[in-house]
Structure 1
């Protein structure tokens, strides 16, 4: 992640003006901790720790989630940023000519190969039967708002509206995603691979299921114990591929060989041979904590 030293980024820069916040970053760099544990380690009161955590959350350095504890709920804090580079001089930036945006429903996949546990559901009900991959071919799959699978992939055809004389500069995809966790398992990490046009651009490891709290938009009829995921942003630029601002590979947008007359293939997969094979769950509009589908933006020069 690259941060420009300017007044617009004061929230991020101010996080390092406090020895307490720097110490919190050190502690969370070793392991996730709740507010009480941080309070004890820092020898300061919990409300003060909470204020520091809030500031770090606003800067995108720390993320937190509410989970069930022995005595009610507790807030677990994670270090969400592994590295950052400060930029003191502005780069010369080429002028953006065009920007193309499309929102793809999670059920609008063009191909798939999945193994149980698996299933798809619309905003109102299940589509077919659980754990039967045949229903991924049901014509009703285009109405799916949530889908999940243990092993395999789904692939989407992203429409490409570039004109002949445009040069692709940045391709960005945002989506809500987590593992596919059987009802009897509380924590299961998973290695999820993202590919574009047949080129693997990076792997993100979901840390484990902490989506037991009902999602803001998850309908009341939903019975599975996964209610929401995490919002992830995948960005492919002229300098490499990034997930939430962290570089995951050297694959550039030029490597994707985007052509104005061809759609873009976007694949989400979890392999049986992955170190952490915990499957995939995708949330669209009407499910999870973010009322959106798979959103794609292509910027051109």
Structure 2
């Protein structure tokens, strides 16, 4: 957090943000930056030094007309975790990141398909492709109506009781190509218990996802929303807002060797707008479907 504070102070400045924007196109020296920004050399040099101090840019000596200092951007992305892992509760937590292709059961109706990091898996709009051995390589899966179900190993130590279970996944609706206004009712089940339905507002495209491979056409689905489900003794919450009275006691976590999670778009849903589910190397978030169990 201390590092985050220092970096935030530095980038809370229009000139420095513009320097980073220019450097994203390629290396520049201070004279070039000064000219493009329309600022005095001395002002530009001060701002470059502040960016150097927090390691957001790097300066190298390169041969040219004599030796000159050239600045380059060090990072494409900044992530700040707004939590501390040094808590007593975190010592009693089980975390599993499930790849999206590791489902144990499924049903899919067109439009539907599986996509790896490099190509399509099977035949698009053919539900049989969901049973291909290569499905484990999937980084994006989608369907208009249907479900996928996952089973996590139940690692709750014998003699202990789960107090909270959390899931997070990146997902959105499924429209032809993409469509921002395309609602879809996505229902979630844990251990066969329906915990609630979330309505995705649309299918997001037109702007490449951070992790979406370059070969995937920009007018196709690019990224989703990262949603968080939490179930404890008080009920079920999505992104911190209670939306179901299902409690962790209703899930009977100690009765099975696994914990099941299912995403479904029902045929009779008010908004049967499909589902896109994103893996580690697709969309905006480098994760599969993460489960945290606190005990």
- Judging changes above 3 Å, is the alpha-carbon distance between structure 1 residues 297 and 260 closer, same or farther for their aligned structure 2 residues? farther
**Alpha-carbon distance in 1 for matches of 2:89, 2:291:** 20
C-alpha separation in 2, matches of 1:184 and 1:168: 40
Counterpart for residue 279 of structure 2: 284
Q: Which runs of 5+ in 1 are unaligned?
A: 1-93
1:159 and 2:153 matched: yes
Name the structure 2 match of 1:146. Answer: 140
What are the ranges of 5 or more consecutive residues in structure 2 without an aligned counterpart?
Answer: 1-87
Q: Is residue 226 from structure 1 mapped to residue 221 from structure 2 by the alignment?
A: yes
Give the conservation status (yes or no) of the 8 Å contact 2:89–2:294: no
1:175·1:233 contact (CA, 8 Å) conserved in 2? yes
Instruction: Check conservation: 1:160, 1:260, Cα contact below 8 A.
Output: no
- Which of 266, 270, 273 is matched with 1:275 structurally? 270
Q: In the aligned structure 2, how far is the partner of 1:228 from the partner of 1:154?
A: 19
Superposition TM-score, scaled by structure 2 size: 0.67
Distance 1:184 1:262 in 2: 39
Structure 1 vs Structure 2 CA RMSD? 1.8
Q: 1:247 aligns with which of 239, 242, 262?
A: 242
1:169 match: 163
1:265 pairs with 2:247: no
Equivalent residue runs for 1:91-130 within 5 Å: 98-130=92-124
In the TM superposition, residue 97 of structure 1 has moved relative to its aligned partner by 6.4
* Displacement over 6 Å in runs of 4+: 94-97
- Secondary structure of the residue aligned to 1:227 is strand
Which of 190, 212, 227 is residue 206 of structure 2 equivalent to? 212
- 2:145, 2:265 within 8 Å by CA — same for their partners in 1? yes
Q: CA separation in 2, counterparts of 1:253 and 1:97? A: 20
2: CA distance, partners of 1:220 / 1:95:
40
Listed one character per residue, the Cα deviations across residues 147-206 of structure 1 (whole Å, up to 9, x for unaligned) are 000001000001110122000111000110000111275521000001001110011001
1:229-285 CA distance string (max 9 Å, x none): 000001111110011011110000000000175201100000111000100000111
Is 1:134 the equivalent of 2:128? yes
Give SS of 1:187's match.
coil
Contact 2:166–2:291 (CA under 8 A) maintained in structure 1: yes
Task: Give the TM-score of the pair, scaled to structure 1.
Answer: 0.66
The counterpart of 1:236, out of the listed 218, 231, 240, is 231
- 1:297 is paired with a residue of what secondary structure? strand
Matched, 1:294 2:294: no
Query: Separation in 2 of the partners of 1:272 and 1:261?
Result: 29
Query: May I ask how many residue pairs the two structures share in their alignment?
Result: 208
- Given that residues 162 and 260 in structure 1 are in contact (C-alpha distance below 8 angstroms), is that contact kept between their aligned partners in structure 2? no
